[in-house]
Chains A and B, each alone.
Chain A
Amino acid sequence: MSILLDEGQQAIATECRRVLEARSDKGRLLGLLEQVGACDAVFRDTAVEQGWTALAIAEEHGGLGLGLIELGLVAQAAGGVIAGAPFLTVGYGAARALAEAGAAEVQAAWLPRLASGAATATVAFAEGNAPLPPRPTTTFAGGRLTGVKEGVVAGLAADIAVVWAMNEGEPALVLVELSAAMRNPVDGFDNSRLYADLAFADVPAMLLAQGDAARALALDVLARMAVVTAHEQTGGAEALLTIARDYAVTRKAFGQPIGAFQSVKHRIAELYGLVEIARANCIHAAALADASQGAADFLIAAADARISATEAYDAAARDCVQIHGGIGVTWEQGLHLHMRRARSLAIEQGNLLFWEDLLVDQLTGEAA
């Protein structure tokens, strides 16, 4: 299935783009690259003010009760302006985990605050290079959590995290307040994502789900976050397509616009193809999630979206810089903001290797 956006959804997309473009500032984003521990406060405030943090949280918990289609549209607009705040995606993932598996009092304690922006949440599933290790080394026992999660997005700022850990020989999802964790900032190539290594030394935590239920929920949450991220990647790739196109029609060499050379125009036309395939997969996956049909179909669609969006954003970053020539590699021109974001988003919510394997597993029922 695939959907056409209704009027309300189109209005969300248009309004997001308008607000974000008015408030985006390349200089501000460049500055954030050289600081550890700061995210784009302007985007954060905008997201709260516009209700984007509340978008996909149920109305009974103070949210707007919309779905992945709407959140995807916001993410796509955010990706287009390289919006430097990481919590939209992981905040959604954590809220989803709480809504599905949290006790009523836990939901009441956190979901309204996540919706209003009073608190932020993240998700810590990965260990090493595995986005969702079959047997995590982080352990939960007797209400306490012990272990290390590396490179957790938004880890420097979040109040709570939903963590993938082992409990009684089975994987589990647990909720932990990060005030009790050690946060070690990661000084990286895309610092406004607020990456941190989180160390838990026998800190209090709460069990959300265990065993097969935890595995299914973790995979669903990861796939949903991957679809949001795929929208963000598609938005970034689309912006680069436009930047490349605009440059190719104005920049002249050998007496003509460089866009008249097939080596350049075909490169840009290829990007158009990658962007449209990614966009189509994103819409399809978001619609499937909201329709809550068969889980296998959604996982396949999420993997399709994730793979094609990663391909599109990486290729667009690579080629847009190439089309710009020397100016494209300068700090000030800022295309490296997209290059960096293309790679950081490619890692967050599972790398290509993970999604390729997951897709083939779903198609064949056979794991490598």
Chain B
Amino acid sequence: MSDYEAFRARARAWLQSVAGEFGREARRGLGVEQDLALGRRYLAARFDAGFAGINWPTEMGGQGLTHIEKVIFDTEEMGFGMPTAYFGISLGMPVPILMRFCEDKAFVRERVLKALRGEEIWCQLFSEPAGGSDLAGLRTRAEVDGNGWKLNGQKVWTSWAQYCDYGVIVARTDPTVPKHKGLTYYWVDMKAPGVEVRPIKLAGGDSHVNEVFFDDVRLEDSQRMSPVGGGFAVAMATLMIERYVATDSGGFGPHLDLFVDLARDVEVNGRPAIEDGRIRSQIARNHAMRAGLESITTRAMLMMQAGMEPGPEGSLNKLVAVRSRQKLSELAIDLQGNAGLAFDPHASQKENWTASWLNAPTGRIAGGADEMLLNTIAERILGLPQDHRPDKGVPFNQIPA
């Protein structure tokens, strides 16, 4: 058994030992607040068991292992349905960026340890009402205020902000230069005076995203994490921090086996739906697609283990998997006919086709809309030209609104 397989076995054994306390069944029927509290306890247990911050330095409370063990652990953990969603962004982007770009190491260490134990949560304040995909078009402004800064404006779609202690934020510090050049990157105390968080109820009924308003919020210059005007590069670093993460070829929806089970259980024209050619074709096409994505991921892992850089095809996963999940979820509801009209708003989108369908659009937009992902593939991988961008090189305050 390789070291990686030994690590996988050790991770799985620990996960199994705590699944009853924290896993899918333990969470069934819990409200968000109770689930979050359970999640904090799970993170503390995970920290104590030596599975927190797997590829982070040991002096920061991590395990000092590689990215490969990190992906192995995350992949194993995903199967148990642990309450980790609240901490995914926090530990995925803001906290690693804090370790990389914040100079006050004593402060960083304290924050990192608390974040790893689930005691503090960080959010990422990027998107704004004026633009999500067009990140550099943001309008929240930070103005010099004595020896620090004064923050005013609004962010939106901020995941879990209502439970967050800190956030990382990009704001405009100079509107007289082209849009990418006038941005600066800070961390912000979400409990500071002038910060107001308002949850947004989404189509599926849950409210994990928020509007966040900043009204004369004071920032010390020590909270600045980029050169003045150099915020866009740090924002890009935040988004690119982990090119290969644990993926789910099911697009974070139900496993294909559940669709096969459904097709066995219901009838079409007096015969099991699994015998209907339309259903069989969809099962086969989805299987082929998911198998391809899984092989891409396996190959990427092998390449990393061999010390090579994985190919760019890993970027296909979210694009291909989530929209396929959306269509398959529609078909699963169709298969149930009138019986498919019922809906439990607390059902898991990984187990319930209706919940999967209702929440699929969020998956196709959050973290890069399908269209932006296609642009990235076209431009970065295939070398196709950029879109027409009339705001290119134009000072931000002269771009027509």
Tally inter-chain residue pairs, CB-CB below 8 A: 143
Q: Complex: how many Å from CA A280 to CA B303?
A: 14
Contacts of B383 in A (CB 8 A): 245, 249
B401 within 8 A of A: no
Whether the Cβ atoms of B275 and A277 lie closer than 8 Å is: no
- Cα distance A83–B379 in the bound complex, in angstroms: 31
Whether the pair A259, B316 counts as a contact (CB closer than 8 A) is no
Given contacts A276-B292, A280-B313, contact A269 B280 (CB under 8 A): no
Q: Of A45-53, A88-96, A353-361, which stretch is located at the interface?
A: A353-361
Contact (Cβ within 8 A) A356 B298: no
Q: Among A1, A269, A360, point to the contact of B298 (Cβ < 8 A).
A: A1
Q: Does B348 contact A (CB under 8 A)?
A: no
Binds A, one of B165-173, B239-247, B354-362, B384-392: B384-392
Which of the segments A154-162, A201-209, A302-310, A326-334 contacts the partner chain? A302-310
**Does A2 have its Cβ within 8 Å of any Cβ on chain B?**
yes
Please tell me if the beta carbons of B378 and A276 are within 8 angstroms of each other in the complex.
no
Q: Within the assembled complex, what's the spacing in Å between the Cα atoms of A357 and B283? A: 10
B99 interfacial contact with A, CB 8 Å? no
**Interface presence of A292 (CB below 8 A):** no
B 360-401 binary contact with A (CB < 8 Å = 1; else 0) = 000000000001001101110111111110000000000000
Query: Is B281 positioned at the interface, with any CB of A under 8 Å from its CB?
Result: yes
* Bound Cα distance A364, B273 (Å): 12
Interface string of B245-281 (1 = CB under 8 A from A): 0000000000000001000100000001011110011
Given the known interface contacts A249-B384, A266-B378, A364-B260, the answer about A304 and B291 at a Cβ–Cβ threshold of 8 Å is yes
Q: What's the minimum C-beta distance from A249 to chain B, rounded to whole angstroms?
A: 6
B275 x A303 contact (CB < 8 A): no
A268 touches B260 (CB 8 A): no
Is residue A283 within 8 Å, beta carbon to beta carbon, of the partner chain?
Answer: yes
- Interface check B302, CB cutoff 8 A: yes
Q: Are B284 and A277 touching (Cβ within 8 A)?
A: no
A363 to B259, CA, bound (A): 12
CA distance A249 to B379 in the complex (A): 11
Judge if A104 is at the interface, Cβ distance under 8 Å. Answer: no
Find out whether the CB atom of B320 lies under 8 angstroms from the CB atom of A273. yes
Residue from the list B283, B295, B374 in contact with A269, Cβ < 8 A: B374
Looking at B272, B293, B374, which has the most chain A CB atoms within 10 Å of its CB? B374
Is there an interface contact between A266 and B374, defined as CB atoms closer than 8 Å?
A: yes
* Contact for B378 among A265, A359, A363, CB less than 8 A: A265
The reply to whether B292 and A277 contact each other, CB–CB distance below 8 Å, is yes
User: Contact at A248–B287, with CB atoms within 8 Å?
Assistant: no
Could you say which residues of chain B place their CB within 8 Å of the CB of A129?
Answer: none
Q: Which of B274, B275, B281, B292 contacts A356 (CB 8 A)?
A: B281
In the complex the two chains form, is B284's CB within 8 Å of A280's CB? no
Chain B residues with a Cβ closer than 8 Å to the other chain, count? 44
CA distance A301 to B288 in the complex (A): 8
Complex CA distance for A232 and B123, rounded to whole angstroms? 48
Q: Which residues of B are found within 8 Å of A357, using beta-carbon distances?
A: 277, 280, 284
Query: Does A277 lie within 8 Å of B260, measured CB to CB?
Result: no
A304 & B387 in contact (Cβ 8 Å cutoff): no
Q: Which 5 A-B pairs have the closest CB atoms?
A: A277-B292, A280-B295, A356-B284, A265-B378, A260-B385
Chain A residues with CB under 8 Å of chain B are 1-4, 241, 245, 248-249, 256-257, 259-260, 262, 265-266, 268-270, 272-273, 276-278, 280-281, 283-284, 300-301, 303-305, 307-308, 311, 353, 355-357, 359-360, 363-364, 366, 368
Supply 18 A–B pairs (Cβ within 8 Å), ascending by A.
A2-B298, A2-B302, A245-B384, A256-B385, A259-B384, A265-B375, A269-B382, A273-B316, A277-B293, A280-B296, A281-B288, A281-B292, A300-B291, A308-B289, A356-B280, A360-B283, A366-B264, A366-B274
Binding site for A on B (CB under 8 A): 260, 264, 272, 274-277, 280-281, 283-285, 287-289, 291-293, 295-296, 298-299, 302-303, 306, 308, 313, 316, 319-320, 371, 374-375, 377-379, 381-388
Q: A4-B308, A273-B316, A363-B283 are in contact. List 6 more A-B contacts (CB 8 A).
A: A2-B302, A262-B375, A281-B291, A360-B280, A366-B264, A366-B272
